[in-house]
Amino acid sequence: MHVSSPELTPEQRRRLAEVFGDDTDQTSDDTPEPGERAGRDDAWWRAQRPPHHGG
């Protein structure tokens, strides 16, 4: 059951939010924007790829 479900009372919603927190996505200041690679070039990303991921 989702926190914003209409079947929940306000008290149930408050308690769920208290226990589980806010269900919205949270990002930090250092989270890159979608499509941004935090200043790293493709060579760096390829070098960081684990061997079991091919390449």
Average the pLDDT over 23-35 and give the result. Answer: 67
Reported confidence tier of residue 3, pLDDT bands at 50, 70, 90? low
Q: What is the pTM of this model?
A: 0.32
Average the pLDDT over 22-28 and give the result. Answer: 65
What span, in angstroms and rounded, lies between the C-alpha atoms of 22 and 3? Answer: 9
Alpha carbon of 21 to those of 11, 38, 49, 51: distances in Å? 14, 28, 33, 37
* pLDDT per position as a tens digit, 42-51: 888 889 899 8
